[in-house]
Amino acid sequence: MKYFLLVLSIWWISGCETNTSFASRKITNNKVGPNAKIQNTLSDLSNEKLDNGWIPIPQNAKPYLFSHLDGSGDKVENQTNLYLFTYNSHLGINAVCYDKDIEHLIYNHTAKDDDVWKDDNLEICISPDKNEKSIKYYFSINPIGSFFDSNSEKHKSWNSNSKYKTKIYNDRWELQILIPFNDINFENHTQNIYTNIFRIRNGRLNQVAEDTGWAPTFSLRGNVVKYFKKISVSEDSFKNKFKEEALISYPLNKKFENKILNYLKNSTKNEAYIVKTQSNKKIILDGNLTETVWEETKSAFLQMNDRRENSNSQQTTFKVFVNNNTLYIGIECFEKTIDQLTLLAKDPRRLWQDDSIELYLMPEKRANREYLQLIVNPKNMVSIQNGKGKKRNLLPILVKALKAKIKTATNIKNDRWTVEIEIPLSAFNSINTTNSHKWAFNITRYRPQKPGQPMQSLSWSKLNCFESHLPGKFGDLWLFGKSTIKKSLFNKINNESSIVTVNKKKNNAPKHILNQNWDFLTTIIEPKKLIRMYHNELKDIQIKQIQSRDEQWAKVKDKKSLLEFQLTKRASFAKAVGNFPTKKSPLNAIETKVFTCKDYEIFTIQYESLPNHYVTGNLYKPLNQKSKMPAIIRIIGHSTPGKRSQSTVKFADHLARHGYAVLVLDSIGQGERIYINQGIGSRTPTSNHYSVGAPMNLVGDGLAKIFIWDIIRGVDFILGKSYVDPEKIILTGSSGGGTVSSYVGALDTRIKGVASVSAMSSGDRSTGNPDAEQNLFNQLLNGCDSFGRIILMAPRPYTIITEVRSKDARALNNKMISSVTKSWSIHGDNKLEYFPTNFPHGYGPKHRHLFYTWLNKYFPTKYPNITKEEKPHFSNYDALNATKTWRMYFDRTLKNIKPIFVQNKEKTILFEKKYLDYSNEKKRRILKAILLKMLKIDPAKIISKKIIHVKEEQLTDLIVSKEYIQASKHSTIPFIHIRSKNSTKSNQLIILINQRGKDLTFKSRYQEILKLTKNNYSIIIPDLCGMGETAVDSEVFYFSDEITKAA
């Protein structure tokens, strides 16, 4: 049996090696300024002996210190020391990047030619001529050695022969790069080359970003050629050529294979799987995985993407081998409730909603490549398609061919379901599989929610989020290749000290605790009722509130009663979102013109809606207008680019051409106002909203208030323009932006017209929304639901353009529109328009056409036909950023900035000073009264509930009782009651609440609980609404590592 590995592409001599063990080296920190003249020629270090694979820098070397790219002269908080040299016909660059928060380095990209520049990274720009307008060669590397190279002719498809290494220390990360002279057309020592080397350090939590470099460019960008530094080299630099290291054979045994796997994983930070090649093994594709070859193949395990470590997680394993030039993949999905598999998909396009496995395969791990995506459910319904790569033209023909050649089989057993996949490698002939190959590979499993068990998302290569289309985070599948490697690499792998062992935190709970399931509701409640328990509870409340709302609305008969109704609901709406400031602070607006054409100008906008709370946007101002013009404020939906998206620019360009001033604003979590997640993944806005909004609720505030107030101040801004007609202020937005446009339109009567797109369906059967700014207290009674907000718009023009997917939804919407039309009928002029559509969600071309038609009807300009769009004048989307760092919350130039987290902290401190003095009885009573009022609890009406005993477990030191309370018609609160076995009585009770639930809490905090019980405490761990086995986890997709860190 042979082992086939690819090991030639990532090591020092042939590429990149990251985070390996070697001694730290000191570089003399001479105070050489950033503008100091470089020595006449670079030092040649060709004769230096390698130090653990690194070229040692002389002790007396004078590093060049980075300064801020914008030339401000401000102190650099995280310094970078740069040393340049030559080595065997290579340009050498050594950088020591100090970081005061090394634990939170940002490196989300791991594939070759991925978007490394979005991480903390060092960038190198090279040009042969300082007079050129653009750079010729570009390189970028992040702290874990992810590498990007391109040139001006072939862009990403160009690959240099550079060698590079990185290492992360306790206070810095360090890198060394060798760029061959031949790669950059540097042929002899009489030439000069021009370069700039700069470092991007992203902002994180409450730390600002820093963009520093060798040559200041007096801008955000480091690639401004006219500021590049000249580099000269000596004749000696060309005398020596880089000697490639000889290959040696390695032993083909299990011990060395394990060493290689450890080494690969610790070097690349990715999972790695070595594929064994078999010969002439008979495989029956039946989904059973019973052949001997499967038993002989090593298993790999999937891991939870949810940091809550759900104790009901079902194990998933897979195996891979090659037989007769065919790749075989076997997957086992263990399942305790096999009779409750979700198998609802009738169309392969909806397979991902079932219990399912997704396979991702990319023949070459490059972020700009497409990849094969295969989805299969337990009934062997299969979907095969192109993955969502950045380029759409690389694999479609291949994938089309593979659809006919890939075979799958599944099998459902008593305790698991299994998948067997057969992929002929002959289909990849164009990828040249005869050579060594490292393929990008990942397997994910989606397990929908089961009664008493939250949804689970698992993957082999850890994603730390619920976005699986991240090729940079795929693992490495090692296929083919000769059994030889470089000698230095062999020694490094074979040396036990070079292999880093990851110490996993041990759980000190005994096995009898860990092996017991402390959840029990499924034994007393029918599974279908359990999974709908809190839904039904809330539905009962909703029905009562809808009835009350409709009774109030039925009393409205004329203008006087309508006005009273609107005033009352507008006041309760404002109170529900948290009440707005009584006094408006100065906007301190900054406008910068970034574009001019014959039809309009574009300005970047930055203003303070609250003191030190900044909003970013763009203003499109039409030219050659003789009269005052209408102004449109566009509120972006859940779009990561925010105001910079292509469709938004097209929208604003079109309207500005036709005489409308357009103000486009970034909402929190979008565009320049992204706070967490660096804009990675498709759910960035919602993740930001959740992480910001949840803590706000804890201090008695709400995110909706900030969203609304930001736009109200935007109205103040646009009304300050002399060229704007105050009687023609229009709001529009799609999705979440459509919802917020209805909020502001309902509350601010200065708005003369609103168009809500892909939003505003009837809420009468809504089950809630995970987005923080769309969760308002007592929405139905306070006039905050769609029904109430539409009424508050009357008699102004209002249009709703929204997709409707079902007959029930259409009927509910029609009922709502029919009822609220009374608001306009009372005024004798119906300006409410409703367009149900089957368009895709968002603000697409068809949506825009309907909006333009409505706009021309109620707010026309001198242009008779505004429905036909043209190609935009403007396409430089980067120029639309108002801040230097493109991340407002981390911008160094914005002094005393107050992100939401800072505001929350200030409110918490004030709250603690005012109320949280537990030694003060008066303050305790006040706090209790506040909580009871907020929760609408009347102590006089509290009824004691009977505790129902289910079972008692007698353990070695503890007695654990499983009990529950029937809190209402639908809701049941299960809990475990833990007390010491040796204690006669417990005088004090501790209620331990954890969103992960009682089962996991007991197991993970066992030692703490044991210690408390020994001190005569009794412990109760309940599963409150939505916790533990009562969880409803449709919103779990919005949780991530980044959210946890931020919140």
Round to whole Å and give the CA distance between 264 and 143: 16
Lowest mean pLDDT among 17-31, 216-230, 694-708, 859-873: 17-31
Amino acid at 683: R
Q: What is the pLDDT of residues 555-601, one digit of tens each?
A: 999 999 999 999 999 999 998 888 788 899 999 999 999 999 999 99
Pairing of strands 753-757, 724-734: parallel
Helix H segments across 297-406? 396-405
The closest of 664, 596, 627, 695 to 860, measured between CA atoms, is 627
Among 42-51, 728-737, 887-896, which is the least confidently predicted range? 887-896
Token pair, residue 319, equals 């195996």
pLDDT grade, residue 269 (50/70/90)? low
Asked if 659 and 631 count as a contact pair (C-beta separation under 8 A), the reply is no
Q: What is the separation, in whole angstroms, between the first and last Cα of the chain?
A: 51
Which pLDDT value is given to residue 137?
93
Tens-place pLDDT, residues 616-627? 999 999 998 889
CB 965 within 8 A of CB 996: no
Residue 635 burial by Cβ neighbours in a 10 Å radius (0-12, 13-18, 19+): buried
User: What confidence tens digit (pLDDT) does each residue in 820-868 have?
Assistant: 999 999 999 999 999 999 998 999 999 999 999 999 999 999 998 899 9
**Is residue 214 pLDDT above 80, yes or no?**
yes
How do residues 984-1037 score in pLDDT, each as one tens digit? 665 688 999 887 788 888 988 899 999 999 888 999 999 988 788 887 654 444
What's the pLDDT score for residue 647? 92
Q: Give the whole-angstrom CA distance, residue 660 versus residue 620.
A: 8
CATH entry, 2-238, from 3.50.50.60, 2.60.40.1190, 3.40.50.2000, 2.40.50.140: 2.60.40.1190
**Average pLDDT of the segment spanning 674-690:** 70
Specify whether the CB–CB gap between 478 and 263 falls below 8 A: no
Q: Of 351-360, 424-433, 927-936, give the lowest mean pLDDT range.
A: 424-433
Give the integer Cα–Cα distance in Å for 719 and 660.
14
- Contact yes or no for 144/19 (Cβ under 8 A): yes
Q: Which two tokens stand for residue 320?
A: 């891979």
Residue 160 main-chain phi, psi, to 5 deg: -80, 170
Task: Rank 50-54, 429-433, 771-775 by mean pLDDT and report only the highest.
Answer: 771-775
How many C-beta atoms lie closer than 10 Å to residue 997's C-beta? 27
Residue with tokens 């003191």: 611
pLDDT for residue 156 is more than 80 = no
Higher per-residue confidence, 843 vs 434: 843
**Per CATH, which fold does 590-898 belong to?**
Rossmann fold (3.40.50)
Among the residue ranges 228-242, 582-596, 909-923, the one predicted with the least confidence is 909-923
| Rounded CA separation 849/844 (Å) | 9
CB 1045 within 8 A of CB 690: no
Contact residues for 871 (Cβ-Cβ < 8 A; gap 6+): none
Task: Judge whether 61 and 27 are in contact, CB under 8 Å.
Answer: yes
- 222 touches 198 (CB < 8 A): yes
Read off the pLDDT of each residue in 263-274 and give the average, rounded to a whole number. Answer: 66
Q: In sequence order, which residues have a C-beta less than 8 Å from that of residue 491 and are 6 or more positions away?
A: none
For residue 380, what are its two tokens?
Answer: 């062997």
For residue 498, the model assigns a pLDDT of: 37
- pLDDT number for residue 669: 87
| Mean pLDDT over each residue of the chain, to the nearest integer | 82
CA distances from 247 to 54, 250, 484 (A): 20, 10, 6
Domain boundaries, the chain: 2-238, 253-482, 510-554+943-1047, 590-898, 903-940
pLDDT of residue 406 exceeding 80, the answer is yes
Q: Which residues pair with 1005 in a beta bridge?
A: none
Strands 372-376 and 229-231 turn out to be unpaired
Per-residue pLDDT at 486: 62
Residues paired with 274 in a beta bridge? 478
Question: For residues 967 and 978, is the Cβ–Cβ distance under 8 A?
Answer: no
The pLDDT tens digits for 936-975 are 778 887 777 889 999 999 998 899 999 999 988 888 999 9
What's the pLDDT at 195? 92
Task: Please give the average per-residue pLDDT across 912-921, as a whole number.
Answer: 72
Domain topology for 253-482 = Immunoglobulin-like (2.60.40)
SS3 of 327, please? strand
Chain centroid, CA 229 distance in Å:
37
Task: Give the H or E element holding residue 339.
Answer: none
Of 593 and 693, the structure prediction assigns the larger pLDDT to 593
Q: Flag whether pLDDT at 4 surpasses 90.
A: no
Of the candidates 821, 760, 812, 759, the one whose C-alpha atom is nearest the C-alpha of residue 786 is: 760
- Report the candidate in 463, 2, 93 with the shortest Cα–Cα distance to residue 271: 463
Q: Which two tokens stand for residue 777?
A: 């207290």
Does residue 319 or residue 676 have the better pLDDT? 319
Model confidence at 1045, in pLDDT bands (50, 70, 90)? Answer: very low
Determine contact, residues 535/1042, Cβ cutoff 8 Å. no
444-470 residue pLDDT tens: 999 987 776 767 888 998 776 667 777
Q: What is the pLDDT of residue 548?
A: 92
Give the pLDDT mean for 96-101.
93
Q: How confident is the model at residue 488 (pLDDT cuts 50, 70, 90)?
A: low
Structure tokens belonging to residue 49: 């002996």
* Angstrom distance (rounded) from CA 1027 to CA 1005: 17
| Percent of the chain whose predicted confidence (pLDDT) is above 70 | 82
Give the pLDDT confidence of 759-806 residue by residue, as tens digits.
988 877 765 666 788 878 778 888 889 999 999 999 999 999 999 988
Question: Which DSSP helix (H) or strand (E) runs through 111?
Answer: none
2-238 and 253-482 share one fold: yes
The mean pLDDT value for 258-268 works out to 64
Residue with tokens 């299990």: 254
Q: Above 50 in pLDDT, residue 335?
A: yes
